[in-house]
Structure 1
Amino acid sequence: MLPLAESAQSSIRRAGGARAGSTTAATAALHRIVFTRLRHDPRTQAYFERRTQEGKTRREIIRCLKRYAAREVFNLVRTVSSVPLL
């Protein structure tokens, strides 16, 4: 059997599953969080400037900010889900 071409492998990996829509919604939510913070949050703006001075591209900085936001959201969801319902 021949190995799959790079483009074929990536399309197989990206094929949707049971949660494909929720993943897209989560990604869109993180995108909104990051861009809202970039407009209004002084800490995020300072982080962006610092990374720009280090030579990072806008895309790399946004990726890092999304990762930070994902960690925060995950910790909030985990904390809330561990609280028993009345």
Structure 2
Amino acid sequence: MQRLPDTSLTIALASGGREFFGWGQDRHLSADLFDALNQNTRATGQWGKKAPKIPAFPRPQSKRKPEKTKAATKPRSVAEIYKHFQRR
């Protein structure tokens, strides 16, 4: 997959799905610039009491991976790791 444009369907599917189609570096940077300008406006504006909430630029959301169970993410002790590698 070398030299494919970053807006191609192949790159979009590798990034997470069809909703990423057309989202190249230029589009991501434009969305980031839009959000940065909104944050700057919100921070430096002359608001009465509270600054209004300005929504972020809509971006494609990747599908979430299934979450691991707590047993799989439980930290192991050095002794347990040592036992695991001794069985091999």
TM-score by length of 2: 0.35
Structure number with the bigger relative contact order (C-alpha 8 A, sep ≥ 6) is: 1
Query: Which is richer in helix?
Result: 1
Work out which of the two has the higher radius of gyration on C-alpha atoms and give 1 or 2: 2
TM-score by length of 1: 0.35
